[in-house]
A = this chain, B = another copy of it.
């Protein structure tokens, strides 16, 4: 089965980027015990001061979809939603390399 990856760009509402980043870092900490989540890296951007990019790799697209129904994930999303002005995602298919 193919892995599932994505570069997800969250654009925070003005002044909310660091709070949003903290919530996503907490979600990443929770993901450490989730075997199907292989990578969940939080990134900022010098060029886009309201952006938080998340680099995700999951064992499969199904595992990623299933994670969205996890109660802890749902609670994180509920806290993050009011801080978010927009979301864009670039889906990719990880095939190998260092860090998988």
Q: A interface vs B, CB < 8 Å?
A: 5, 7, 21, 24-25, 28-29, 31-32, 37-47, 53-55, 57, 90-100
Minimum CB–CB distance from A68 to chain B (whole Å) comes to: 17
Number of copies: 2
Which residues of B are found within 8 Å of A57, using beta-carbon distances?
41, 99
Shortest CB–CB separation between residue A88 and chain B, in angstroms?
11
Docked CA distance A35–B39 (Å): 18
Secondary structure dominating the interface of A: strand
Additional pairs, 15, CB under 8 Å, beyond known A41-B99, A43-B95 = A28-B98, A31-B97, A38-B98, A39-B97, A40-B97, A40-B98, A42-B95, A42-B97, A44-B92, A45-B92, A45-B93, A46-B91, A47-B91, A54-B97, A55-B97
